[in-house]
Structure 1
């Protein structure tokens, strides 16, 4: 239920005191590589709840010989220079440098809630930062930032709700990191060793040299071959429209290099040309399952054409690669993405300020592939499966971040109160 927001106060109403830090002399080796974590701006991840460790550590003598201070675990920390307003708290006692401030909560304010409040006002802190090369904010100016302060009994619930989302976000980030590592390893193994008749990865060349042959592209399975990219396509690799003209709503979308910045092609973000102009470039009209490559700027980036772009076209900066009947489209996409093919592509790139590859050079890029399409399909299927899993986790992460952003705005301003949650918690305590 939407209600009137909390009364706007200043941050200093939620802070009982603050403490700065410093840096031990770099000229004294004994001050460094000790057991005390020493936090600087580089240790502050965006919107993170906890710092468990730091890149650098100092010794007790380094702490005593500098302006640094040892901050108790569970104390909110905020950057006042460079990443201005970025806030977190440590899970262990931690020293801080001069770009970081420790903020101690006022009576009736919980540390967990104060941290969320600091993260909420980060955009205001960034807006007030000054400096030509390195931006910063004075502590007094930071404490004067307007901030809504929740009722004491509501603070733990607000922090609990937001921390639950933080945990989900952190766990999803860890899953994504693991999936990326698995995907990278699988990409290397499948595109260098392939899959045998039993559906298993072949043993490495070092363990079974009789199963491999040496080529200009390195060791590949005996049942594989290396051929120019053009021999895997059903039509000539070509670029698209030279002059697309002004954007025509409901016209024919065309794919630019700028449309290839993400992990997939998105129809809604594209410009459209007239059907008359597109009709003059039927050779570059794409179909579902075709591969589009950036041949300018981000040369070598490849994406698959989704069904939503059936009949779309290209520009001069992108090229159409249409797999033939003997080539699995998913396999070819991953084969081009492999480091072996990317190295060959980059060797043909011309220009420094305006990088590009000619169509003639692109058509001759060597691609190593199984001769039998069944093995290609199995490789493509396995790589597509882990990629779909990765994309699913990334979509969940984006939704969780958006949900957290909305909840922070609702709960911390008081537009949405936690009264129902408080009643539920009280009822649970009474029945315990």
Structure 2
């Protein structure tokens, strides 16, 4: 027997779930005077230019809904006139319907005159005082529309949305005053997110400058020299030495040859290549942690590491090798089984762990990696080449000072990244509650 679930007082059951009684459900097309899309200029005999009318593509819109001005293309006045159907107006909504589905932006006067192509739907609301554009903007980014997009993504490898799909989007619509209050709350959280992202970006730029200065000029030096490594000139203070990791190596070990059948739902934690990234600390989300069968881990004890080891990867599936050679440390008390291509190593006290981690994130180090990595599609570095590469090395005390300065900046970045994550989670929860009427902001 099916149990009847009662609807809370003041709410009604709809195809979008339970919503307040006074809310309505409207098709997006009913709320609009126009839903259309553009055309690629080359299909009508025009080409892109270096300057002219802004031409907006999907890559011109960030995932957060901001316009990336440096990603605009440009077309001529004549091309713009020929593509008159897709000439943008102030307060048009743009919604991506091909490629990265569901990116949304509001056109503002600062980017006009502008046009767009067939990958972006132009949504122009009626001026009938019924809808608030910011509310519709957030609703299009919200959970109901995202569920619709996810269903389409599952059904097709190359998912696209039609203009009919956009017209048929269902919008849960409160009175305009409540729409405005909901949009205001979400806009304030967006502002905090944007400010925090800007702080992180500025701090990362600061760190890059500090790294360049400290790792080439050191602290308080006035005399310098250069050494040549595989054609690469590297500047350093005169009192620094040229060394190798091998000169300070206690031991190293490689990863285990894991096959798909060696993994399990639970068991021994695996340290994959993708866990090695910029920042110097192992970061694996619990939801992404993979496990090997316990018996496999026992058989490959020589590939097990803990927080006493530094970890690097000497393989990268990306041809440019952005993460190859990066070094991280483990900040928890777990043991990990390294996957193939991952290496763990211990150093003598003559080479500071944190200094080497910071050095592995520097531009100088990346240039060295590019010189010693081999391969085309799946690049790798021979472990002998890695441990024998020449690096400029300050005295131990200066290594520790440099590492300390850079680690403090890292801490600021990490604190702001944690705060950003909290804001993003707050926004996700607010969108779920406010856009369904679960939490009311207007009587």
Distance between the aligned counterparts of 1:52 and 1:216, measured in 2? 40
Q: Which residue of 2 aligns with 1:393?
A: 416
Distance between the aligned counterparts of 1:303 and 1:29, measured in 2? 47
- Correspondences of 1:112-131 after superposition (within 5 Å): 112-120=134-142, 121-125=145-149, 127-128=151-152
Structure-2 change in CA distance of 1:104 and 1:336 (3 Å): closer
Structure-2 change in CA distance of 1:328 and 1:63 (3 Å): same
Contact 1:130 1:137 (C-alpha < 8 Å) held by counterparts:
no
Q: Which residue of 2 aligns with 1:42?
A: 59
Distance between the aligned counterparts of 1:313 and 1:136, measured in 2? 41
Structure-2 change in CA distance of 1:86 and 1:252 (3 Å): closer
Cα-Cα RMSD: 3.6
1:138 corresponds to 2:162? yes
Distance between the aligned counterparts of 1:280 and 1:53, measured in 2? 50
Match of 1:56 among 73, 88, 95: 73
Contact 1:300 1:346 (C-alpha < 8 Å) held by counterparts:
no
Secondary structure of 2:333's partner? helix
Distance between the aligned counterparts of 1:21 and 1:7, measured in 2? 31
1:216 corresponds to 2:228? yes
Contact 2:92 2:124 (C-alpha < 8 Å) held by counterparts:
yes
Structure-2 change in CA distance of 1:167 and 1:287 (3 Å): same
Residue 51 of structure 1 and its aligned partner are, at CA, apart by 7.2
Residue 29 of structure 1 and its aligned partner are, at CA, apart by 7.7
Unmatched runs of 5 consecutive residues or more in structure 2: 1-7, 12-17, 317-322
Distance between the aligned counterparts of 1:129 and 1:281, measured in 2? 42
Structure-2 change in CA distance of 1:55 and 1:242 (3 Å): closer
Residues matched between the structures, number: 403
Residue 223 of structure 1 and its aligned partner are, at CA, apart by 1.5
**TM-superposition CA deviations, 1:31-66 (whole Å, max 9, x none):** 8733x4332323222231667787134454443343
Contact 2:326 2:357 (C-alpha < 8 Å) held by counterparts:
no
1:360 corresponds to 2:381? no
Match of 1:305 among 330, 334, 337: 330
Contact 1:240 1:319 (C-alpha < 8 Å) held by counterparts:
yes
Q: Which residue of 1 aligns with 2:178?
A: 154
Distance between the aligned counterparts of 1:59 and 1:355, measured in 2? 43
Q: Which residue of 2 aligns with 1:205?
A: none
Distance between the aligned counterparts of 1:373 and 1:389, measured in 2? 25
- Correspondences of 1:210-249 after superposition (within 5 Å): 211-217=223-229, 218-233=234-249, 235-241=250-256, 246=262
Q: Which residue of 1 aligns with 2:313?
A: 294
1:418 corresponds to 2:406? no
Match of 1:82 among 68, 93, 99: 99
Distance between the aligned counterparts of 1:150 and 1:51, measured in 2? 32
Per the normalisation by structure 1, the TM-score is 0.79
Structure-2 change in CA distance of 1:350 and 1:273 (3 Å): farther
Secondary structure of 1:237's partner? strand
Distance between the aligned counterparts of 2:54 and 2:258, measured in 1? 58
Q: Which residue of 2 aligns with 1:181?
A: 205
Q: Which residue of 2 aligns with 1:102?
A: 122
